[in-house]
Chain A
C-alpha cells in the first residue's frame, strides 16, 4: 500500500517536474528572487507622422497606444518597465530644439499599470524624430543592475536629426558591454526607415519587425517584454591581449570582448592533468560585412606549439560565426606535474567595405568550461567487442577448426598410447 502511494507520489512529482520543465523551457528557475531584475524601456516615436491613419483604419498613434495598454497589462511582475518618448513635446521648426525632444514618460522601475497607462493616454503626435538622442538617453535610463536590458524602439520614420547616426549610437551602446539589446519595430516603414531600423537592431543583436496591423504590434511588443523576463547568463566583460604572455587568465564561464577586423585576441586558461578544456567562441557580425568570412580558435602551449584548433568559415547573411575546441589533458602519474597554461588565440577574417566603421570591434563571445577528462578509447569499437555476421562466421569457423584439431589430436594421442 505504502509502496503504491509512494509510486503514485513519485509519478505525480515526475509529471509535475516534467510540466514545469516544459512550461519554462529555459529550465532555469524563473521565480528565483536573487536573479537581477530585467529592465525594459519602450521607446515610442511620437513625431507628427504618427498621425497618419494607415493601420487598420486607425492612426499609427492609436495603434501604438492600444498596444501599450495591452502590453502593460501583460507585463510580467519581475520586469522593470520604463517608457520614453521622442518628438512628443516640441511642435516647432527649430531643428536644434526638435532634436533634443526626448522625454522619459515613465521611469524604469516596478510597474504601476494605472499610472503608466495614464501617462501613455496623454500622448499626441507632435514633433521631430530624434532616434539617436533618444537611444542614448534610454541606455542611461537602463544603467545599473545586473539583469538583462532591452530597448524596444517603435518608430514610423527615419531619424531626422543627422549627423548623429542612430546606428552608430546603437553600436556604441553595445560596445559598452552592458548586454543591452535593441529591438526595433517599424510602423508601415519605407525603405530608408527599414534600413535604419535593421541597422540599429543588427548592431545590438536585436530583431527588427515591420508592423502593418494592430495585433502584430501588440503581439510583438508583448513577446519582446516577455523575452526580457527570461533569465539568461550575463557574460563577463574581458579584454584579450595581443600575445599569449600578456593574456588574461580566465576560469570557466561566459566572457565577452571586442575584436576588430584582422585583430588577434589571446586568453589563458589553467588546466590540470586529467581535465578537459572546452572553449567555444562566437564572433558576431554586427555591421555590414563582406559575404565571405572566417573565425579561427587555436589552443596553443605557452611555448607556441599548437595543440588543437577549431575553425569556421562561411558566406552569406549571418548573425554570428562560431567555432569551438576541446583539449583533454592526459592524466599524469607524476604528482609534481602542475597545471598547464593553455593559450587561446582568436582571430577572424571578417572584412567590410571601405565606408564601414571598424571600431569598436565585432562582439566576441567566449564560453569556457573545464571538466573532467574523458576516458581514453583503446579501440575503435566499444570495449573492443565485435558485431555482425562476419564476426559470427569467423567465431564459428574458428571454433569448428579448433574442435576438429582437438579431436584429431586426442585421437592421435590415443593411438600413440595404444601402440605403446
Chain B
C-alpha cells in the first residue's frame, strides 16, 4: 500500500514538473476583464475571438445570432458557459448554445444544459456546454473535436414575436480542463483546424507587395504559448516508471531464486 502512495506521489510530482503545457492555456494575469471583448459577431465569418478564461460580454437584440470563437488545443476539455440578461418584461423564451469546430461541424456537448427556457419575466437564463476532450488526431471520417478554432453560437430559438428585437446582454466564458495523458492519442494534425489557415500563411509568407497582403483573416486565434506540438504526454512518465519498476521486480525475482547471501551448500571458507 505504501509503495502505491509513494509511487503515485512520485508520479504526481513528475507529472506536475512536466506539466507546463497545462499551464500554457491560461491567459496572462495582466490581461483580465478590461481587455475582454464587449461585442459579438453575427456570423461564422465575423465571430469575435475570445481567449479562454476571459469573460466576454456583448449586447444585442433578442433574435440576434451571437458568435464568438476561441482556440482549444489537444488534451483540453472546453467548458462553455453563457449567461443572458433578459429585458424587464418578456414572455417565456428558449435560448440555445451551439458549439461548432473549425470546419463548422456541430460539436456534441457531453454535459451541460445547452438549451434552457427562461420563464416569463425571468431576469437571466444560463446555458452551458462541456465538449468532448480535444484529440490531437482523428480519422477523417470521425467527428471528434480536434485542435483549432471553435465557434460558439448563442441565440434564442423560441420566443414570442413581440419579444424579438428587445435588447439583451450576454456573457460568455470558456474554461478548459486539462485531461492529460488519458486523452493522448497517437498522430497529430500538421496544421490546427483553423479556417483560412492556408490562405493566412500564404500571405504571411509573401509580405513583399503591400497591395497583396490580406489584413483580414477568417481566424487568427491561437492558444497562449502556441499550439502544442503534441509529442508530450504523461504516458512517457508512466511507461518509464513502469520500465524501471519492471527492472526492479526482475532483480527482485532473480534475487529470490538465489536466496539470501551465499549458498548454504558451500562450506564456509571454500
Contacts and interface: CB of A to CB of B under 8 A. Distances in A.
Q: Do A and B bind each other?
A: yes
Interface in B122-168: 136-137, 140-141, 155-158, 161-162, 164-167
Interface string A292-326: 00000000000000001010100011011011111
B268 interface: no
Contacts of B250: 399-400, 402-403, 406
A387 B31 contact: no
Interface string B166-190: 1100000000000001101111111
A227 interface: yes
Contact of A403 (B189, B231, B252): B252
Say what secondary structure dominates the interface of chain A: mixed
B190 A207 contact: no
Nearest to A185: B165
Contacts of A377: 137, 185-187
Interface string A206-232: 111110000010011001001100111
A252 interface: yes
A32 B212 CA distance: 12
Contact of A205 (B43, B195, B243): B43
A407 B254 contact: yes
A8 interface: no
A279 B104 CA distance: 9
A375 interface: yes
A404 B253 contact: yes
A312 B105 contact: yes
Contact of A22 (B51, B190, B241): B51
Interface stretch (B18-26, B76-84, B214-222): B214-222
Contacts of A322: 44, 100, 104-106
B245 A32 contact: no
B218 A25 contact: no
A386 interface: yes
B210 to A, nearest CB: 6
A172 interface: no
B91 interface: no
Interface string B33-45: 0011101001111
Interface stretch (A43-51, A133-141, A154-162, A388-396): A388-396
A310 to B, nearest CB: 6
B188 A223 contact: no
A25 B50 contact: yes
B223 to A, nearest CB: 12
A398 B124 CA distance: 59
Which of the four size classes fits the interface of chain A? 35 or more
A186 B165 contact: yes
B238 A385 contact: yes
B61 A210 contact: yes
Given A25-B37, A312-B105, A403-B253, A232 B216 contact: yes
Interface string B62-104: 0111000000000000000000000000000000000011111
Contacts of B238: 385-388, 391-392
Given A25-B49, A377-B186, A387 B103 contact: no
B12 interface: no
A39 B251 CA distance: 78
A216 B61 CA distance: 10
A214 to B, nearest CB: 13
Given A231-B216, A254-B196, A322-B44, A15 B30 contact: yes
Contacts of B37: 22, 25
A210 B257 contact: no
Contact of B215 (A191, A231, A367): A231
B117 interface: no
Contacts of A328: 140
Contacts of B2: none
B120 to A, nearest CB: 18
Contacts of A410: 257
Contacts of A387: 181-182, 184, 234-235, 238-239
B177 to A, nearest CB: 18
Contact of B218 (A14, A254, A386): A254
Given A227-B39, A322-B100, A399 B239 contact: no
A370 to B, nearest CB: 5
A367 B157 contact: no
B247 interface: yes
A381 interface: yes
Contacts of A367: 104, 195-196, 218
A308 B257 CA distance: 59
Contacts of B254: 403-404, 406-407
A381 B184 contact: yes
B236 A385 contact: yes
Contacts of A375: 137, 187-188, 190
Given A15-B30, A23-B35, A194 B245 contact: no
A280 B195 contact: yes
A419 to B, nearest CB: 13
Q: Which are the 6 A-B pairs with shortest beta-carbon distances?
A: A403-B253, A324-B103, A407-B257, A377-B187, A210-B165, A399-B246
20 contacts: A14-B28, A22-B37, A25-B48, A34-B215, A195-B161, A207-B63, A210-B61, A216-B167, A231-B216, A323-B105, A369-B195, A369-B197, A371-B198, A382-B233, A387-B239, A395-B242, A395-B243, A395-B245, A403-B251, A403-B256
Given A198-B165, A317-B155, A387-B184, 15 more contacts: A32-B215, A205-B42, A208-B164, A216-B167, A220-B61, A223-B59, A369-B196, A371-B197, A375-B137, A379-B186, A387-B181, A392-B238, A395-B245, A396-B245, A400-B250
